[in-house]
Structure formats: structure tokens, C-alpha cells
Amino acid sequence: MSKQLYYLIIFLIPLLLSNASLSASSFSSQDTTNEKDYRFERGLTTEEGLPANGVNNIIQSSDGYIWAATYNGLVRYDGTSITVYNSSDIEGLNSNRFLNVMEGPGNKIWATLENHQFISVGKDSIQAYELDYPGISVNDHITLLSFPDQENIWVGSGYGLFEFNGETFTKIEELPADGVVEIINTENEALILLRKSLYRYSKTEQSYEKLLEIDQDNILRNGKSFRQKFDRDHFLFSDLIQYNGSYFLSAHSALLTYNNGNFEILLNSEDAGLLNINGFDIDREGKIFLAGNEGVRVAEFDQDNQLIFNSLSDLPSKNVMVDSEGSIWNASISHGIRQFVKTPIYNGKKYQELEGKSLTANLIDQNGNHWFGSNCNDLMLYTENSIQRYGPSEGLTNNCVWSLLERKNGELLAGTWGASIFRFDDASNRFTPYQIDGFEQVRAVLSMYEDSDEVLWAGTYFSGLFRIEDSSADLILMEDGSITPGVRAIFKDADDSTWVATDIGIGLIKNDKIELQTQLNLLSTHNFRTITQTENGDLWFGSYGGGIVILQNNGEIKTLTRDNGLFDETISQMIFDQENNLWLGGNSGIFNIENSQVSQFLNSEIEEVRVSRYGTDEGMPTRETSGGFTPSALLNNNGILYVPTVQGVAVVNTGMNSIDRIPPKVALKYIEVDGRQVQSDQLEKLPHTVQRLSFRIAALSYINPKFHRYQYKLEGFDNEWQETDGSQDISFTTLNPGDYTLLVRASNSDGIWSDDTVISSFSIAPPFWKTIPFYILSILFIAILLRIFYQIKVRNIRKRNEFLEERVEERTESLRQINEELKNLIDEKNRLHAILAHDLRNPFTSIIGYMELLKEDLSSTDNEQEVMIVNALLSAGKNTYNLLENLLHWSNSTGRGLTPDFYNQDLVKLIEESIQMTEIQAVFKRIKIEFNYTEPVCVVADRNMILTVLRNILSNAIKFSNEDSSVSINLEMDKSDVTVFISDTGIGMDKKEMDLLFKDVSNSTRRGTKGERGIGLGLTLCKEFVDIHGGKLTAKSEHNQGSTFSFTLKRCDSLD
């Protein structure tokens, strides 16, 4: 039982029993702590989507939705959107004039209508019912529904109570044919309130007992008058609720309690300023909210245990409801649904003269008077009994007051934007300019501070920081001698150090200089506005657009920005209340961070703080606060925080700040598949063709739905939680086949998160070509195809093999014949070699010998012509013999019959020998052979092969050189090789001839410059011989530019 109910029974009932009436003045005279002052009113009317402004009843269902019965439909509200149920989408509904709404078993919503109808709204279905009973006309109303058990429904009407079993209606004859107002069911009994009587039904005995009845203007109990002679004749029961084990019921003129068979009158309607009590509800604190034609009233006990009344609304009200978060909902007769949200923001009329004004500094002086500066709209003074304005007429020639200070001697100073500082003269009630030497050029004063030595400090916008003593000002410069721009706050910490917040950073005054604390420049801006210090010595610096820097007492520096939970990084106000909770003001409202959150953040236990937000939906005149001056906020000894805004003052009762710690319930409103709404059971198995799947969710918290946050994770798709951009829609496009579960969590406006809620589980069916049956069929089909392919392949292979076998036989026979022919050719070649070696070589040897003898005989004669002829014949014989030798060498090499005989040879001697062999040929064409090497050059070579190579290349050089030219022989040596170069200046070769140079003997040959012939064997043979030596034969030539042939041989260390 609550404290209020305890007082209610202990103090109030004895007074009633002793016939002492409760003395209560009208609510208006007791309106000192009006509930309305800290309740912000929001409205839902036809402008916001209500089907009608006439509302009969409001409830909150167990899943968190707000339901309202209106005269043009049943309404469901989730904090952001309205859903209407009426005849346009409910089959069989004949009217839209709803009278009542309630919740039944299984979270099903039931609602009653005027024309003997009622409906049920389930998760996926809506059904309409009609009270079918003799004597019930279309004009009879269904007033309520109750659920005494799981099988039957009690249907209340203007004609009495009926029992409905799902098919038929049975009238409960034990009750009078009177309008049913309310029924409360418990496990063993039910209280049934009719317009003129109250009955108790025992479920165990199945009997009805009349507890109270109204006889004209009296309430009778057991036939005796319980309450005599009301002032009004018309007296009916209107509502019944159960609270903390007791029953409360209202008649139009009184509120009664019923407990353990005892009835007591708690209050009269006229005490609350109401003619009739139409309905009521009680909140967790025991406050009673009464609805009547004159509005909504609040009844509660004061500190003296006296029942006092306050007004919450003056709008005619049919009923009132307290939701799970403590908000009050008013079912108004003609103004729609009214919600009254508890807020620490003062919503009274005390400061209405400041509405619309852009306020600046505010200050409470030693006399308790409250001063409010403004941006060029005079200085306002609030005293206990009056409000005064100070402007040019009162000596304040510049009414743009940006800073205020009361000095220790009681002198009030006003710093202005444009005319420096003014002093207030209490005797004349006027302001006069403050004459200060060295301060004449100062115009805009943003901050003022008086230290313990009564020295005045003044921060300016353009002119820097000044220390003022004995009406003389000294300019405090920065370390580099420059003036500090925009000194917006001056703060003395617990260690007596002086800090300044400026437009270029945080400064610390040392040795009469301002030292910028660059280690604090950790934010996106260096523009700072405010400074404060906690009890443990931590210094907090608020910036203009970058968040907060915290210099902890251990020297550690931390930042607090959007990344850490801030919603606004503009810090115009920053102050800790008596409970060390942090209050911030900025361009987006006022914010509160609990002390525990601050401590956990500073201790690195959390990375993101939980922030409560307050704006226009909580009663602020505007979200944008004013800042950049001092004092920018004021917290008095009672915990009242005054924050200037650009449209008035926001007054915050920090002691009334209450964190909504009830996690919001997360509800699934509807599902869309490719733009079409579906029921949740239709989502179990979706086809793969679905392109877009959307879920509309809602966090059912009503303190401030605009500040809700949503996170989701689609298991089977997401590994981490994703956060929406504030939208209630969660959409997915082209999901892969698989099983999915959508989890959602939401936070209320105070950052309290719900548990993870399973919104939906569903599957995306794979296309047929990705199913197991298709895979099996595909495997079978592929297997059959592979079998067919295999059989065709085997048949083709067999045919191919047969064909190849025939070809092999043919080729074998052909090869056999070729081998036979080749064998014969080889035998013929061998015989030819024998003939050449025996029958040609010997005669040539004899001929050359005779020619040598003839040359010797003629050398002693003077017949030069004969000598020349003999020399020519001798040269021709030797050349012919050399040709024969080349042919034999080549034949032996191509037949693999020649084996090289490698020895260390003198390359110079081999070259000289080759020159001698071609001397006659060179003399014949008057060609000079140039070779100037005399020192031995050792190479590893077969003598005969290298002589053949040299002789052939040198012979070709002479052959293709013009008369009276020269052929040069050069050597190049490195550590391992020797390269022989033989160059001529003859006719050369073109590219085509170069490409055919080392081809086989079938290529045609060219004639020399004197018509010399060749057989095309020389260079081919030379290349093969060089290759045998592991060298490389190359040639370079251009047409008519001569040729150069080169080949390489391996060097050796010494000659054999």
C-alpha cells in the first residue's frame, strides 16, 4: 500500500467516522504547487489523424499500445502514428460510434458501440458481434465487456448484464435492467457497478449480493442511508477501479473506497471544483486524477496530510487514464486525446513576460531578486511581488545585457554588447556607466568575475581580458603579446588557478599572461564557451560545436562527443546539480547525464553515456539555448536550474527529474512483402522471387517518441547489430534463400534499452533449381548424359582405333619400304665415298705433284707466260682437291661418321695456313688479306675442322669482293672465348639472302664477282663444325656494303 493510501485510511477515515467533514477549499485557492506546472500537454485531434474529437474512453493494453474509443472509430496509437478501425474495414459493423474499449484474454482488444454491437481485434483478425436478445433494440448501447472466465463473456448494456458463450446470449436476471458501468474480476469474485447500484458476485457460490444502491439523492447500504442529501438531485455511479488491494468507485458527486466490506467517502466532486466525476485513475504515487465536465483535477495529500486539489486541464473530460510510464491521458469530450507528460521543465505562467525574448545572462542577487539579461530587449527584474524592466529610461542606455555580476559589496554590474559596463544604484533604482581608466575603448563585455581580493576581471569580445582594480584596467595579453579574442568565461578552480574560455582555446593565467593549454585542443573546434569543476577536482570545458574536454584530477584528459552519446556538441551551459548529475544546454535542447553514467565513463567502464533529452515536447519555449557569456545558467539552492533560450527562459526543477527506467515494449505493427501488407503467419515461407521485405516496428513508450532509437539484427544475415536512422521501418532487399530471425531492440527517450525482441522468424524458399529434388534430378540427368556420352565416346574410340590400326599397318609397310630404300642409299653413298677417296683423291694428288715438278723446272727459264699458266693450273688443282676434301668432310659429318679430335691449337697459325690456301685466289683478284697478329692464341679445336671453317669463310670473302679491295681478319678475346671476325667490302647480302644463309645444300648459290661458282656446302658445313666446338657462327651484311662473319672458340691456357 502506498504512503498516500496509508494516510488516506489512517487520517481520513477516522475523520469521516466521527462525522467531521473534510475541509478543502476550492482547487484554485490551493494552486501553489500545481501539477500542471510540471506536466506538458500534447494533443491528438482530427488534425493529427483521429477520426473524431469526441473520445469516450482510453486504455493501455498489456503490450503497450494506447487504445481509444471515439465517436467515429476505434483508435490504436503507438506514439507516432494512429491506426483507425471502423466500418470501412470491419465487415458487419453498422456504426462507428464506439463507447468503450477493454482488453480480454490473449491480449485481444474488445470494444463496444452504441447500436448493440461490439467487436474483437486480434493479432490477425477482426470480428463484429451483435447482442441478439428479445427486447433489445437498435438504440440500446453496449457499455462494456468483461471476462469472468476463459469461456464466457459478460456483455454490459443499458438494459442489464448478459452472458455470451460464443453463440447465444443469456440475460443475468439476478441483476437489475440498468446500465452496466464497470466490472472488476478477481479469482473468486467480481464487483459489478451499475448506474444506480453495486453488486458483488461470488464465483464459488455463484450468488449476487447488493452492496450499494442509489435512491434518488441518497446512497443506501443494506437499505439504510450511507450518504445523505447531495446538493444535486441527479446522482449516478460512473467508475470503478482496483488499486493496491482496495476498490475505488466514483459517483457523479463523490469518490468512495471499498475494502473488506467497508465503504467510506473520500472526497466530494465540489471539493475538486467538478460538478460531476465522470471517471478517475490513480498513479503510482497515489495521486488521484478526476475527470469531469469542468476538466481534469488532481487530488493529493500535502505535508500536513491535508487533501489538496490542483487543476491539470480545463477541457471537458469523459475519462482519464495513467499509463505505465506515469503519463496522464485524458479522453476529452470534444478536444480529442490529451496526453500530460511529467517533465522537470516548468510550464507555469510565472515567466510569461519573458516569452519570445532572446535571453542572455541571469542572476539571483543577495536579496533573492532574479535578474534576466536579454539580447537588446532590456534587463528584467523579478522580485517576490513585482516585475520591473530596465532600459534606456532607467539609465541603461544600451539594453543588450550579456553578462551580470553582483560584487561582494552588493554592487550589481551589467556588461553590455556595445556600451561596456553599467553599475546599478539601488537608491535611485537606475544604472550608470562604470567609468574605468584604460577601459574606454571596450564595447562588448561577455564575462565578469570578482576574485577573493575583490579584483574585478572582465572578458570582452574584441578587446581581450582585463583586470580592473581601483577603477583602473590592465590588459592581460597572451604569451606572444597578442590580444585574446572572445573571452566568454572566467573561472577560478579549487587550486585558485584562473582559467578562461575563449574563441581560440582554453587559457590559464600565469605571471599575468594567458597561456593557451594546447593539450586540451582535442575537439573539432578550439572555440570554448563554459567551464565548471566537479567536487573531486575534475575540470570540464564545454565547446561551441565540438563537445566537452575533461581534465581529470589525475592529469588524464578525456573527450565527450557524439561518439560517446552526446546528441548536441554545442555546449552553451554545463552545470552539476546537488546530486552531481550533469546538465547541458545547447542548440538542440537541455540534456541530463546521471552521475553514475559520468563516473562509469570517466573510469572507462563504458564508452557511451546514457543521455536524457528535453525540448519543446517537454515544455521548453524553444530547443536553442543562449550561450557564450556568463553566467549562462543558474542553479539555485532549491535545485531549480534557469537556462536562457532565444525565446524565453527554461526553468528546470532538477529534483523532479525522473529517468524513465521502464524499457519500452517493441511491437510489430505490420509487414510488407514487395509493397503488400501480409499477416505474420504468411511470412513463414516466402518465395525466392521476393524483392523487398519491410517491417514497421514501434517502441511503445510515450514520454517522447521522437527520441526513440532502434537497433536490429537479422540472424542468418547480420553478424552485428544495426541502428536505423530513427525510422521505424526495417527493410531488406533480395535476401538469399535460408532461415532468418529478426531481432529488434529499442530505447526510450532516456536511453533505456529494451530486451532483444523476436519480431519474426521466416524462411526464403530457394528456387526450384536450388532444391534437393532438383539437385537429385540434375545428378541423374547428368549421369545419364555422361553414360550416353561415354558409350558414344567408347564407340568412337573403337572406330578410331580400328582406323589407326589400319593406318599404322600402312605406315609400317611404308616405313619398311623407306628403310629399305634408305639402306640402299647409304650403301650407295658409302661406295661413292670409296670411289671418291680412292679413284679421285689419288689422281688429284698425282696431278698436283706433277704440276709442282713442272713449276720447279720452269722456274729456271725466262718464260713467264708458261710459269703463270702452270701456277694457275696448280692453284685450280689445289682448289679442286680442297673442294673434294670439303665434300668428304661434310658427308662424313652428316652421316655421323666424323669424330672431332680436340687439341690445344695456335689459332694464329691456323689462320696463316688458311691465308696461304687462298692466296692464289686473292692474287687473281688483286685482293689484299689483312691479318696482323703474331703472338700465339691458344684455342681448343679440331685442326682440320677449323681449317675448313677458316678456308671456306675466307674463300667466300674473296669470292664476293671486288678487285683491288681487301679482306680483314681480327680477333677479340675475353677470359673464356676467342671471337674470329672475317670482314670484306664486297657486294654483301640483302635480308632474304641472309635468311637462307645457313640452310641446307638444296638452296641455290650465287656467283662471285668474277663469276666464281660454288656448290652451297661451305657455310652449312662451317656452321655444323662451329656448333661441334660449342661456338656460334654469325653473319652481318648489307647489300653492297660488304659482310662480316664471326665465330667463337674456347680459349686454353697453353699449347700442346
Ordered DSSP codes for 858-879: HTTSS-HHHHHHHHHHHHHHHH
* Rounded alpha-carbon distances, angstroms, from residue 565 to 575, 593, 597, 750, 751: 18, 10, 11, 12, 10
Mean pLDDT of 997-1009: 63
pLDDT category at 507 given cuts 50, 70, 90 is very high
Higher pLDDT, 892 or 961: 961
Q: What is the predicted pLDDT for the residue at 840?
A: 64
Q: How do residues 577-609 score in pLDDT, each as one tens digit?
A: 999 999 999 999 999 999 999 999 999 999 999
Q: Is the pLDDT of residue 271 over 50?
A: yes
pLDDT category at 1005 given cuts 50, 70, 90 is low
Residue range 899-1050, CATH number:
3.30.565.10
Query: Residue 101 pairs with which residues in a beta bridge?
Result: 111
Q: Cell 629399305 sits at which residue?
A: 820
Q: Is the pLDDT of residue 28 over 80?
A: no
* Rounded alpha-carbon distances, angstroms, from residue 409 to 260, 412, 413: 66, 9, 11
Mean pLDDT of 122-140: 86
Q: What is the predicted pLDDT for the residue at 236?
A: 84
Q: How far is CA 283 from the centre of its chain?
A: 40
pLDDT category at 576 given cuts 50, 70, 90 is very high
Three-state SS at 142: strand
Q: Is the pLDDT of residue 889 over 70?
A: no
Q: Name the percent of the chain in helix, strand, coil, to the closest 5.
A: 20, 40, 40
The letter for the amino acid at 995 is D
Cα–Cα distance for residue pair 464/448, rounded to 1 Å = 12
Cα–Cα distance for residue pair 849/862, rounded to 1 Å = 22
Q: What superfamily would CATH give domain 522-656?
A: YVTN repeat-like/Quinoprotein amine dehydrogenase (2.130.10.10)
Preceding omega of 631 cis (within 30 degrees of 0): yes
Q: How do residues 323-333 score in pLDDT, each as one tens digit?
A: 999 999 999 99
Q: Cell triple for residue 367?
A: 536579496
Q: Is the pLDDT of residue 26 over 60?
A: no
Q: What is the pTM of this model?
A: 0.70
List the chain domain ranges: 3-342, 522-656, 665-770, 781-898, 899-1050
Mean pLDDT of 172-178: 94
The angle, 0 to 180 degrees and rounded to 10, between the axes of the packed helices 907-917 and 943-959 is 50
Higher pLDDT, 558 or 987: 558
- The answer to whether domain 3-342 and domain 522-656 are alike in fold is yes
Q: Is the pLDDT of residue 160 over 60?
A: yes
Q: How do residues 717-770 score in pLDDT, each as one tens digit?
A: 999 999 998 889 999 998 999 999 999 999 998 999 999 888 889 999 888 888
Q: How many CB atoms lie within 10 A of CB 927?
A: 23
Cα–Cα distance for residue pair 298/655, rounded to 1 Å = 20
Q: How do residues 520-543 score in pLDDT, each as one tens digit?
A: 999 999 999 999 999 999 999 999
Q: DSSP code of 922?
A: H
Q: From start to end of 716-850, where are the E strands?
A: 722-723, 729-733, 738-747, 757-764
CATH number assigned to the domain with residue range 3-342, chosen from the 4 options 3.50.4.10, 3.30.930.10, 2.40.128.30, 2.130.10.10: 2.130.10.10
Total count of residues recorded for the chain = 1056
Residue range 665-770, CATH number:
2.60.40.10
